Structures are given as structure tokens and as C-alpha cells.
């Protein structure tokens, strides 16, 4: 299983800018976070960029085609006066491409809803990275950089982690990815609670025997009680 994560923009192209944030930095942070979680599921993760460099849209698609990845996911942040989540597949696509996009969209939309941000829906568009990639692909716009509420959340590591985990949950659901090996050493009495916490997006379920820090407790309580 090979997936390419495409952090939108980069280098001389900052993407959308607003609220003191630049799209290119948020997309990179999200892409690397999603990639790390996918690796825990045994996925061979590729990136179109892993630092602040400019890569053309065609070069991104070419890289995916050359690597023969099974799925291509492009990460963007919206701008222009809206709020919330929207996702795109290439115009006229259906079948597997729509099935995968829907699974991801559903999980991420739930995380947005928890945070009080709306679902703007599943859309189609003639976007270069979707048109030029030869495998199923989708592009997600994770909120609006110029909307105060969206930007306030996108500026926090907790929300970045939450929507990364939701993205990976959607991918794991539709591709039937197994529970990470490192999370499978959980003691039997804790298994049901762990599985619930993972499926609710409260924890990634990893490191079951590790001690917990105070900030991890706060974050898990926050995720559980704010659901």
C-alpha cells in the first residue's frame, strides 16, 4: 500500500495567507502529520515535498505516477470568505475515487463538526493534480485561513493532530488498514476502551504501555468531552 501525500504550495508560492498564517506552512505540517500516522499503519508513504520548496503541479502528478502510488491525497487550506471543510475529486469521476474520497470526507467532516465548523460538501473540479494523476485522488480544503474561527483552530497543534487522525481513520476504513502493530500489545481489559478512544479520535492508540503526560491527559479529556 503506497500513498502520496501532497502538501499544497511551498517555496515562492505561499498559497492563501491570512490571520498571520501561510497556507504552505499549514499544509506541510498537516501532510507530515498524516504521513507519520499512515506509516504506523504500515503504509509506504511518499511526499511531493517535505520542506518549504516550490514544486509545480505537473511535477507533483508526475512524481505520483512515477512512484505508482495507490492513492494521491492533496492537502490545502481554503480562502475567500467561507468557513469549514470541502473536498474535491476530478470532474466526472465516480466509483473507487468517489468511494475513497467519501470515506475520508466523512471522518474529517465529523472532526470539523466537533470543532463547530461546517461541512461544505463533496465537490468535483478540474484541478491539475487530480486531472494529471493516474490513480484515485482527492484534494481536501481543511478550513479557511481567512476565517477567524478556522484559523484559530488551524493554528493549534491539537486541531492539526485531530484532523490528521480523522484523515487517516477515513483512509484506514476504506482501505481496510490494520491496527498498527505497536498499538496491538494492549492488555485485554483495556482493549475495548482503547478501540473506542481510537475510533472516537481521542487517541491514536499507540504506545499502550507508555506513561502519560499532563498535557496528553488534558488533550484526551478535551477531545472526549468536546465531542
* Residue 76 interacts with Zn ion (CB under 5 A): yes or no: yes
Query: Contacting Zn ion (CB under 5 A), which of 5, 8, 83, 223?
Result: 8
Point out which span in 38-46, 76-84, 101-109, 129-137 binds Zn ion (CB under 5 A). 76-84
What b/e sequence results for 183-209 when a residue is b if at least 16 CB atoms lie within 10 Å of its CB, and e otherwise? beebeeeeeeebeebbeebbbbbbeee
* Residue 15 interacts with Zn ion (CB under 5 A): yes or no: yes
Q: Among residues 10 and 15, whose Cβ is nearest to Zn ion? A: 15
Point out which span in 11-19, 110-118, 143-151, 185-193 binds Zn ion (CB under 5 A). 11-19
* Residue 180 interacts with Zn ion (CB under 5 A): yes or no: no
Measure the CA–CA gap between 116 and 51, rounded to whole angstroms: 31
* Strands annotated E in 79-149: 85-90, 119-125, 137-144
Q: Among residues 144 and 159, whose Cβ is nearest to Zn ion? A: 144
Q: Among residues 42 and 80, whose Cβ is nearest to Zn ion? A: 80
Contact 51, 107 (CB under 8 A): no
* Residue 143 interacts with Zn ion (CB under 5 A): yes or no: no
Q: How far is the CB of 60 from Zn ion (least distance, A)?
A: 12
Binding-residue total with Zn ion (CB under 5 A): 3
Q: How far is the CB of 74 from Zn ion (least distance, A)?
A: 8
Point out which span in 13-21, 59-67, 110-118, 177-185 binds Zn ion (CB under 5 A). 13-21
Q: How far is the CB of 23 from Zn ion (least distance, A)?
A: 5
Residue with cell 515535498: 49
Q: Among residues 8 and 180, whose Cβ is nearest to Zn ion? A: 8
Q: Among residues 15 and 143, whose Cβ is nearest to Zn ion? A: 15
Point out which span in 57-65, 71-79, 125-133, 202-210 binds Zn ion (CB under 5 A). 71-79
Which residues are the active-site residues?
A: 141
Residues that bind Zn ion (CB under 5 A): 8, 15, 76
Amino acid at each position: 500500500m503506497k500513498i502520496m501525500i501532497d502538501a499544497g504550495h511551498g517555496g515562492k508560492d505561499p498559497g492563501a495567507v491570512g490571520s498571520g498564517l501561510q497556507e504552505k506552512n499549514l499544509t506541510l505540517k498537516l501532510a507530515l502529520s498524516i504521513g507519520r500516522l499512515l506509516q504506523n499503519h504500515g503504509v509506504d508513504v511518499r511526499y511531493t515535498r517535505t520542506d518549504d520548496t516550490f514544486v509545480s503541479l505537473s511535477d507533483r502528478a508526475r512524481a505520483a505516477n512515477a512512484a505508482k502510488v495507490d492513492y494521491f491525497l492533496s492537502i490545502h487550506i481554503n480562502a475567500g470568505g467561507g468557513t469549514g471543510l470541502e473536498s474535491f475529486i476530478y470532474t466526472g469521476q465516480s466509483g473507487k475515487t468517489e468511494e475513497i474520497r467519501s470515506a475520508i470526507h466523512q471522518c474529517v467532516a465529523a472532526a470539523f463538526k466537533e470543532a463547530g465548523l461546517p461541512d461544505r460538501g463533496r465537490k468535483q473540479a478540474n484541478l491539475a493534480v487530480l486531472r494529471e494523476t493516474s490513480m484515485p485522488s482527492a484534494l481536501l480544503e481543511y478550513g479557511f485561513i481567512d476565517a477567524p474561527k478556522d484559523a484559530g483552530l488551524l493554528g493549534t497543534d491539537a486541531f492539526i493532530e485531530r484532523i490528521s487522525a480523522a484523515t487517516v481513520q477515513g483512509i484506514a476504513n476504506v482501505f481496510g488498514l490494520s491496527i498498527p502493530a505497536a498499538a496491538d500489545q494492549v492488555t485485554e481489559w483495556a482493549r475495548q476502551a482503547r478501540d473506542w478512544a481510537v475510533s472516537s479520535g481521542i487517541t491514536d492508540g499507540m504506545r499502550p504501555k507508555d506513561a502519560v503526560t499532563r498535557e496528553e491527559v488534558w488533550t484526551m479529556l478535551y477531545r472526549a468531552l468536546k465531542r
